[in-house]
């Protein structure tokens, strides 16, 4: 019963986070320059060889790779995968239309207050812009807390073809070292 409760809590956190990011307000108007998509000077994340990973390419415009033993627990409209070896470790991806009057940085900045209003965040949300396979992306890292459970969450946000894509990876804080190598490979495969 405890395992199901943990799983349920983690799934709820993941879904709330996803909905907040894809539905963030359009308060930050597009004030970006022509160089807003520049990857110059950003940390470089490049896809690695992952022969034991499965390719997810069922969402138009993007693909990513995840460990072959992960179990699909989502729907076609909201793909979600769980690690069968680490209770509660999940990944999911969502997409929505990108607000035309908003810069990418404005979109990322607008999502952060929504996250803080809808769930308890322990500490700050760390924001970093990265070069993800040649495309500018934002990486958000934070710890969400619900009913005494602490969950490490990483989200990768990209804009591609007037769509916003959000990859969310989460696991209990106690499992961070176990899932981190897998999660980093998944992130690097996101394109």
Average pLDDT over residues 129-144: 96
Average pLDDT value over all residues in the chain:
85
- Give strand pairing partners of 90: 82, 170
Residue 19: predicted pLDDT:
47
Q: Give the pTM.
A: 0.84
* Strands across the sheet containing 80-82: 43-45, 120-132, 135-146, 149-160, 163-172, 90-97, 80-82, 71-72
Residue pLDDT, tens place only, 27-67:
334 444 446 778 999 999 999 999 999 999 999 889 999 99
Number of domain units in the chain: 1
The Cα–Cα gap between 187 and 191 comes to: 9
Q: Which domain holds residue 7?
A: 2-189
Residue identified by tokens 């207050």 is: 113
CATH of the domain at 149: 3.40.1000.10
pLDDT band of residue 146 (cuts 50, 70, 90) is: confident
């Amino acid at each position: 019963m405890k395992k199901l409760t943990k799983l349920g809590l983690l799934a709820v956190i993941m879904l709330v986070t996803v909905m907040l990011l894809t539905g963030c307000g359009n308060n930050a108007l597009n004030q970006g320059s022509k160089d807003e998509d520049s990857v110059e000077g950003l940390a470089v994340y490049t896809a690695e060889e992952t022969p034991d990973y499965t390719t997810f390419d069922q969402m138009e415009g993007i693909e990513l790779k995840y460990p072959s033993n992960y179990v699909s627990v989502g729907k076609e409209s909201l793909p979600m995968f769980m690690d069968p070896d680490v209770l509660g470790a999940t990944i999911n991806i969502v997409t929505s239309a990108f607000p035309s009057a908003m810069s990418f940085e404005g979109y990322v900045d607008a999502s952060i207050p929504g996250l803080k209003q809808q769930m308890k965040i322990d500490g700050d949300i760390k924001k970093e812009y990265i070069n993800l396979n040649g495309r500018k992306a934002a990486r958000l890292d934070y710890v969400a807390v619900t009913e005494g459970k602490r969950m490490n969450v990483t989200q990768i946000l990209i804009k591609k073809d007037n769509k916003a894509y959000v990859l969310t990876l989460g696991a209990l804080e106690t499992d961070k070292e176990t899932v981190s190598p897998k999660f980093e490979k998944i992130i690097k495969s996101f394109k």
